[in-house]
Amino acid sequence: MPQIEIDDATDRYLTFAAGITGMTKGQLVARLVEQAQAAAAPEQAASNGDEPASVRVYADYAGHRTYGMFVPGPGRIEITSGPLTGRSFRTPSQAAREIVQHYNPAVSPHRNGWGFFFVAATGAPLQSLRHRSV
């Protein structure tokens, strides 16, 4: 059976996480790898075969994480989690404004969506994909 080497601190983290999830350390690592692969693989937009592959993104605001799909080309954001699930916005900035407005209506909602959203697979700002969508 293949084995990997980890330091003592990582082993303690895995032991703790495995204990609270009811999995073995191996099962936990396998699940984390599966989740990372799923986040890294672009999903095909469902509307038609002519659309480019979409990219999973997220935004953190006011203690809430909101996931969505960024569709290059048109540059739209489709929200896939939280109270705005199912809504589609023409631009990342429009989506960012709606998220801010939802969670904190007392502040100005104006945000630059290209810096507000991050690519789920890498943690890079959505801005890193901007040249591909224009």
Per-position pLDDT tens, the chain of length 134: 788 899 999 999 889 988 888 889 888 888 877 766 665 554 443 445 555 688 999 999 999 999 999 998 888 999 999 999 999 999 999 999 999 999 999 999 999 999 999 999 888 899 988 765 44
Q: Which residues contact 120 (CB under 8 A, 6 or more apart)?
A: 39, 55, 56, 57, 58, 67
| Helices H / strands E in the chain, number of each | 5, 6
Contact between residue 120 and residue 56 where contact means Cβ atoms under 8 Å apart: yes
Contact between residue 51 and residue 70 where contact means Cβ atoms under 8 Å apart: no
Contact between residue 76 and residue 88 where contact means Cβ atoms under 8 Å apart: yes
The residue type of 106 is: A
